[in-house]
Amino acid sequence: MGMDRRVRFVGGRLPEWSAVVAALAEAGLPVQMRMIDGELAFPDETPPETWRELRVAHAGAMATVRRGQQEIILVTWGNADEQAQKLWNALAWAFARVGDGQVLTEAGPMDAAAFAQQIGLP
């Protein structure tokens, strides 16, 4: 069973994957591509603009990124270890940051800065 976290975007405009990757790398959390829409991918492969689902990895952890109409849904295992949760949260932060989105949390929607503070991201 998995856990999901959603990031919603005003106006439904989702950020480009390359901007998300750049934000993660800038924060010291580079990711590698594993799958694009159910197909194996090269670690540095860029998905087409029409991607629906990605699997990305960092430091031995993996997370799924699903594209919705006006949101991104991030999925990890329900028993995710610390590294997997770090990746899961970092992806949410990066999407919110570059797309001016809101991370939907148990405490309510948060912008990227507030979410970064909550998860301890420098």
pLDDT in tens, the chain (122 residues): 578 999 999 887 899 999 999 999 999 999 999 999 999 999 999 999 999 999 999 999 999 999 998 999 999 987 888 999 999 999 999 999 999 999 999 999 999 999 999 998 87
Query: How far is the C-alpha of 8 from the C-alpha of 27, rounded, in Å?
Result: 21
Packed helices 82-99 and 112-119: angle between N→C axes, nearest 10 degrees? 160
Query: How many separate domains does the chain show?
Result: 1
Closest CA to 80 of 2, 28, 8: 2
Domain extent for 109 = 2-119
Query: How far is the C-alpha of 28 from the C-alpha of 9, rounded, in Å?
Result: 24
Token pair, residue 111, equals: 């912008």
Residues 6+ apart with CB under 8 A from 122: 27, 116
pTM > 0.85: yes or no: yes
- Residue 64: half-sphere exposure toward Cβ, Cα within 13 Å: 16
Instruction: List for the chain the helix, strand, coil content (%; round to 5).
Output: 30, 35, 35
Give me the CATH number covering residue 61: 3.30.310
